[in-house]
Amino acid sequence: MNTKTRILLAATVVSAGAATATLAHSADPISQDQEVRNVVLVHGAFADGSGWRGVYDELTQRGYKVTIVQNPLTSLADDVAATKRAIDRQDGPAILVGHSWGGTVITEAGVDPKVAGLVYVSALAPDAGETTADQYAGFTTPPEFVLETHTDGFGFVKPENFKSGFAADASDADAAFLRDSQVPINMSAFGTKLDHAAWRTKPSWAVIATQDKAFDGRMLHKMAERMGAKITEVDASHALFMTQPKVVADVIDQAAQGNSNTVR
């Protein structure tokens, strides 16, 4: 090995080490006396819990205990039950996080006393007595987002529209995987009235994707403002729960740290 090769190899090793160190220290670990150390992540329609992997990695690296719910997407009651089972397993207060339809789920399930705060990730937030479908009144869903309903009443995102309507900022490979692994939702769930609205009594945060093509952006802001949520905007698609893990994790971290001063 000549001198030039050794120098180039050494430089590569140093650069790789620096990159690893930067990744490993992307956020400070939570303090040992922080009270809220649990996070429960709830996915939305047309997806499953695997899309949370980046957020999971960010949060566990910081010292959080993270649980990911796998919603059956068969009814609001079934998804709430799945979420409550996850909440019951927590050993202390938790931040409950929902993406898209998952926002409706955490709104209903979040009244559980273990839930210290709510984070809505481009998510729906009906009030008690309202349905998810009610939130769309007066707004126009972007034309990129197209659903197909099967004869049994379960809906899918139309395959040829999936990347543009759901995951425009994902790589072609990641968008294709999401498209081909999408979990259909029973469309009747959108017409179910909620019994509770946890955001009425729990502090709330909202992360809104400014390039979301599944929702009218004005609708997302209206729901967040009605909740009195602390809003963070990010230049991302509807799949921000997967494509923007650090931004989402940072907001969850803020929610947990803020609640640690009030939960007793």
Residue with tokens 């929902």, as numbered in its chain: 98
Q: What pLDDT shows up at residue 173?
A: 98
Q: What pLDDT shows up at residue 182?
A: 97
Alpha-carbon dihedral of residues 210, 48, 102, 184, nearest 10 degrees?
Answer: 100
Give the residue, 21 or 174, on which the prediction is more confident: 174
Q: How far apart are CA 111 and CA 106, in angstroms?
A: 8
Residues 239-258 have a mean pLDDT of: 97
Burial of 103 (0-12, 13-18, 19+ CB in 10 A): buried
Q: Taking 50 as the threshold, does the pLDDT of residue 229 lie above it?
A: yes
Residues 98-120 have a mean pLDDT of: 98
Q: What pLDDT shows up at residue 26?
A: 53
Q: What pLDDT shows up at residue 14?
A: 35
Give the model's confidence band at 261: pLDDT under 50 very low, under 70 low, under 90 confident, else very high.
Answer: low
What are the boundaries of each domain within the chain? 36-260
Per-residue pLDDT of 175-223, as tens digits, reads 999 999 999 999 999 999 999 999 999 999 999 999 999 999 999 999 9
Question: And the tokens for 210?
Answer: 């400014």
Q: What pLDDT shows up at residue 259?
A: 81
Residues 165-177 have a mean pLDDT of: 98
DSSP structure string for 155-193: EEE-GGGHHHHH-TTS-HHHHHHHHHTPPPEEGGGGGPP
Which of 114, 159, 160, 155 shows the shortest CA–CA distance to 132?
A: 155
The verdict on domain 36-260 having CATH code 3.40.50.1820 is: yes
Which of 205, 16, 240, 11 shows the shortest CA–CA distance to 110?
A: 205
Q: Taking 90 as the threshold, does the pLDDT of residue 13 lie above it?
A: no
Per-residue pLDDT of 120-158, as tens digits, reads 999 999 999 999 999 999 999 999 999 999 999 999 999
Per-residue pLDDT of 17-74, as tens digits, reads 333 333 334 578 999 899 999 999 999 999 999 999 999 999 999 999 999 999 999 9
* Mean pLDDT across the chain: 91
Q: What pLDDT shows up at residue 4?
A: 36
pTM of the model: 0.89
Alpha-carbon dihedral of residues 5, 6, 8, 10, nearest 10 degrees?
Answer: 160
Burial of 138 (0-12, 13-18, 19+ CB in 10 A): exposed
